Every structure is written in structure tokens, then in C-alpha cells.
Structure 1
Amino acid sequence: MSDPAGSSPLSTPAPVPSSGAGRALPLIPLVPTASAPATDAGATFYEQIGGRPTFEKLVRTFYSGVAADPVLVAMYPEEDLEGAIQRLTGFLEQYWGGPTTYSQERGHPRLRMRHNPFKVNPDARDRWLTHMRAAVDSLQLAPLQDATLWDYLERAAHAMVNTFEE
């Protein structure tokens, strides 16, 4: 059953400003789109934080932690994590307004479906978050950029949990 037009929180107009101007405030997407919203300066978040070199550093730092983590590394069928590094880098670049290479090569991200074959329990999630937090910290982003990136990564990690079995 589809939602009636306008019933989605993403399509609900913003309240009219109290100044009486009579104009609705612009809609702001709650999630970045394939063409992530640009800032007033015209730069996407991807560009603001340094583009590909920043995302490569983030993901390579993250996977150096994963490689040393017996719970997480066991989820990867490859002895070499390079394929996983390239996939996560491409996904994050696209999500934050960079190149759309990920979708061109792999189609829709379908994160839950792609992670479903693996036992992602709260322990695995917490380990993932520990390594990702260290990776985000290594970037030394401005506080708002750090918080923006971390908010997404933390929500995504919680959404990937698919079992509570140990």
C-alpha cells in the first residue's frame, strides 16, 4: 500500500515562519540523496571534508582495525580486504555527494540485504563502531563535520544489527 501524496515526513512542508512572511521554509532532506545537498558555499559534504583522500584515509584506517579484530575479520571471505576497502570507500563517497561509481558498479546499496548473510549482533556492531570511531578521529575534522559524519555512521551501524545471538 503506498502512502497518500504528502503523508511522508520527507514531503511535509515546513512550518510558515512566524515573521508572517507567508512563505514556507524550504524542505531539507533528512538523508543525503544521490546528489547530496550543497552548502551555501556550493560544496557537498564530500568536498567540504577533502574528497577522495579523506574517505580513503577513513576507510583504510577503519580496516586496519578490522584486520586485527577476530570477530569482524571473520565476516570477510577474502584474506585481502582490498575489495571491501574499495566498496566502502565508494559507498561513502557517493553517499556524501562524491562520484556515483558505487551505484554504477554495484547497483543500489541495499545495505541490510548485503549484510544479512553475516551475524551482526550488538558485539559486532560495537566493535565496528570502535574501529570506525578511531578512523573518524584520525581525520581531525571540524567538530560539526565530525558530528555529521559520526551521526550517520552510528545510525547505520545500529541498523545493520540482524541478530541478538552471541
Structure 2
Amino acid sequence: MLKNVKWFFVVLVFSSFISLSFDKRKTPTEKLPLGAQAPELVLGKEKQPLSLQAAKGNYILLSFWASYDAASRTRNARLHNVVSDDARVEMISISFDRYQSVFNAAVRQDGISDNVYQEMEGENSEIFKSYDLKHGFINYLVNDRGVIVAKNVTPSELASLLHQAEN
């Protein structure tokens, strides 16, 4: 009897390995890989579109953040400082703060004022879904054709990319 039980477990383990090797689940893919066309930006219920058209040879930096996410807010402010002196990059900064007062305080404290928008629908917004932000707030560098050329760049990486584009 003990010999039959051992044999049963051996067969069970072996069949489990075989079934796992035929697992049809795919590895998750990125929704917006480098080289993809950036989705249209439409803010809020009033459906206010934002243009992703940059001048020839220039870039748009889309920065998504919220005051409750310290890392994204800090990165947004630092990126703003890098691009504020560079005419080749226009930064569009979109906050997912739900309260106007919190958004206004963050913008004032961080010293950002140009092209700063608030998406009050938060995680329910079309932008949040189309830019696949459920895994955290990131940024996208988009070229003059609306194609994503870099993702989640740091201020030093952005400066390096812009320096390479000069040469």
C-alpha cells in the first residue's frame, strides 16, 4: 500500500510539471512601448484636448504626478527645472489630485506654472487608462511626430538625451 501511495505522488508531481510547461498565460506586455504613438490627451469631463504636436525637431515631455505620490511630484518639479531653460522641450504636467486646493498648493510650492493641468477624475480618467498609469506615475518624452522616444526619464537622463540630439 505504501508503495502505491509513493508511486501515486510521483505520477502527480510529474503530471504537474508537464501541465505547467504548457501554461498558455503570456508574459505581460507594455501597453505603450518605445516607438508607439502617444495617445491623445483629453482632460476631464469637459473633454479638453491637449496637443501633442511639437515644432519640428522638438519634444514634448508628458509628466504624470500627484501630490500624494512624493516620488512623482519631486521628479516632476526637477524635470520642470531642466526643461524650463531649453526651448527644444515643452513640458505638459498633469496632476491626478482630486482637490483643487491641494493641486494649487503643490503647484505653488513646486514653482511650476506653465502647462500644468489637473485631471480631477483621477484613476477613472481616460488619460490614466490610456497611459497605463496603474503601476505608478511615469513620464513620456514624445518627438515631433507624436512617437514615444523615452519613458520614465530622470532629469540627468533628459539632459543627456537632449545633448545627444544636439550632436
Give the TM-score, by structure 2 length: 0.28
TM-score normalised over the length of structure 1: 0.28
Structure with more of its chain in helix, by fraction: 1
Who wins on radius of gyration, i.e. which is larger? 2
Q: Which has the higher contact order (CA 8 A, sep 6+)?
A: 2
